[in-house]
Structure 1
Amino acid sequence: MKSLRVGSGKWRGKEISAPDEISGHQNFTNSLIKKAIFSLIDSRLSSWDVRAQDCLFCDYFSGSGQIAAEAYSLDFARILIYELDQDRFGKLLRLFKGLQNVKLFRKDATKHVLKWDVDSEKAYVFYLDPPYTYWSETPDRMKQMIENLYEHCKTLSAPSIILCQIPEHQKADKIWAEVPYKEREYGSHSLIETVFEM
């Protein structure tokens, strides 16, 4: 089985099992996209003069857990992880066992997007990498989730960023029709960035 590695921070080099392919797709974030994700986050936090140690990181549709592991390795203050698949959730429990600042939810993120308590974080990072079918077969599900999350960001007393990975040039314009966003392309994938600043 393939393995993924944490790229930076205190867990640098740590191996994480890659999930199996689904319908011929490699169902994990490649190193180029992962680097871009955390570069965007770092740039945004710097512009807010906020450290990762003072931020919440929420990983919806966590899968292998490599993005959450990277966030933990970079010392984010609190990490929330959502994964519905039972087998993957079990692996996530083992990966993050005993870590006090990591909380896992075996939930459908589209139905439980806001099921957590606001604390004293100085900024909020929300990362989404949903299954491919959420774009092609149930786009309304994602549209509603993103709109709810963006409206929630408006209620927070700190700045926030929503990042979403889009596979293989799926169309984003309808899903983000009601939310301001910026799209960046990285090979066959894109990253959507939505920001709410105080």
Structure 2
Amino acid sequence: MFLTITGGRFRGRKIKVSHSRNLRPTRHLVREALFDILQARVTLTGCRFLDWCAGSGAVGIEAFSRGAAFVEFVEKDRKLRAGIRRNLKGLGIEEDFRLSAVFPHGRDFDLLFADPPYAEEALARRILDVAGALVKPGGWIVIETEGTFSDFGEDPREWSRYRYGETVLHCCQVPSRDPGE
């Protein structure tokens, strides 16, 4: 299977997706909508982007295509990580990224996108718990979930939701710190 990059300098280029029974790549329409939402709120050029539960890596590669300076891909499946590496190399991206297996190594991301497996709602909640510590004040968190997911627990942040069929993008901005802090 191949996915097409929807915008930026790699627009129209295809990336190969490794086969995995657990993989559910973010659809073309949803990726395009995601970046429309983000570009209305933040400058992607020069940003630090985290693609958590990266799967095919398509969202992080889209971020590179649209100007991200650095992308960290977090994906536990070794075969999928190898596929991400091959796709990056095929696009001529040989630096300014990190592939991690379990947990992000970086901090101070401008944007965090997470697409946990729909069946793993507990993982989505764990990501929510730590996301704020990984993103700079004023940065954005976007979690992709199945339409039935609504358990954000005691999370005090204000979330906007965008539905695309059975997929929902939950977006929130990390509050800026008080200058006096």
CA distance in 1, matches of 2:25, 2:169: 14
Q: 1:19 offset after TM fit, Å?
A: 4.4
Q: Any residues of structure 2 matched to 1:1-198 within 5 Å, and which?
A: 2-20=1-19, 22=21, 27-45=24-42, 51-97=43-89, 98-105=93-100, 107-108=101-102, 112-113=103-104, 115-118=105-108, 124-135=110-121, 139=122, 141-153=123-135, 156=136, 158-167=137-146, 169-172=147-150, 174-180=151-157, 181-198=159-176
- Give the letter for the 1:63 counterpart: G
SS at match of 1:96: helix
**What are structure 2's unaligned runs of at least 5 residues?**
177-181
One-letter code of the match for 1:37?
L
Q: Percent identity?
A: 19
Rate the CA distance shift 1:176–1:37 in 2: closer, same or farther, 3 A: farther
Give the TM-score taking structure 1 as reference length. Answer: 0.78
Q: Which consecutive residues of structure 1, in runs of 5 or more, have no partner in the other structure?
A: 46-50
Q: Which residue of 2 aligns with 1:48?
A: none
Change (3 A) 1:147 1:100: same
3-state DSSP of counterpart to 1:53? coil
**Alignment RMSD:** 2.1
Residues 146, 176 of structure 1: 8 Å contact kept: no
Post-superposition CA distance 1:5-26 (Å, at most 9, x none):
1111111111112344637xx7
- Residue 53 of structure 1 deviates from its aligned partner by 2.1
CA distance in 2, matches of 1:17, 1:125: 24
Is the Cα contact below 8 Å between 1:19 and 1:27 reproduced in 2?
Answer: no
Amino acid at match of 2:152: I
Shift of 1:99: 2.2
Q: Kindly provide the CA deviation profile for residues 163-196 of structure 1, in whole angstroms up to 9, marking residues without a partner as x.
A: 11112x2322x23532421222111111101211
CA distance in 2, matches of 1:84, 1:117: 19
- TM-score by structure 2 length? 0.85
Q: Assess if the C-alpha contact under 8 Å between 1:179 and 1:194 holds in 2.
A: no
